[in-house]
Amino acid sequence: MASHFLLFGFLVATCSVALASDPSSLQDFCIADPKSPVLVNGHACKDPKLAQANDFFFSGLHLAGNTSNPVGSRVTPVNVAQIPGLNTLGISLVRIDYAPWGINPPHTHPRATEVLTVIEGTLEVGFVTSNPENRLITKKIQKGDVFVFPVGLIHFQRNVGNANAVAIAALSSQNPGVITIANTVFGSNPAIPSDILAKSFQVDIKTVNMIKSKF
């Protein structure tokens, strides 16, 4: 009898994992219809008979992003918002431009693993493992090198050269999302109470308010 309960528990667990993953496509494509009033997890499909080549097309990744900002980088996304034909396909792309010594600050993608390829320049990249280890895994990568950032983990890139750098990254979601740690913690709306942040970061409230003023 105990073995039957163990088997039942195993089946429940495996079924739960299967149900938690993205379902397989049941049609060739599902072009996003952002004007649809139907609320679904993702986007409703437009009539496939109305599909056009432009539903699967984007032009612009040859253009450098403007890195004139405090962090010295610019991300150009190519996800379902730019290519409606990506809907339900579980993939997207970004171009990242870096000024000399510019950074793509610590952030996470809650719905995607990222595979980054350096096109020009040299980058210092890294991610931090989850609690309790919080281990930094980092490497310097150059043109043609590839590095993976596992889904959900905090990661970053820094241009370690005196010239501009460029990277292309693929992400395993049509809408990977991005949570930039500093912006989220110090620039939320409404704001996280300063005393909570002061206690969390073991600094005084004046320091927290000074950091908040930058976001």
Q: Report the binding-site residues for Mn(2+).
A: 107, 109, 114, 155
Laid out side by side, the sheet with 146-149 consists of 73-78, 92-98, 165-171, 114-120, 146-149
Q: Annotated binding site, which residues? A: 104, 107, 109, 114, 155
Q: Annotated binding site for oxalate, which residues? A: 104, 109, 114
Residue showing tokens 């350096």: 118
- Phi, psi dihedrals of residue 20, rounded to the nearest 5°: -80, -15
- Phi, psi dihedrals of residue 96, rounded to the nearest 5°: -120, 125
Q: In 10 A of CB 185, how many CB atoms?
A: 18
Laid out side by side, the sheet with 179-180 consists of 136-142, 122-128, 155-159, 103-108, 179-180
CB-based contact 161:122 (threshold 8 Å): yes
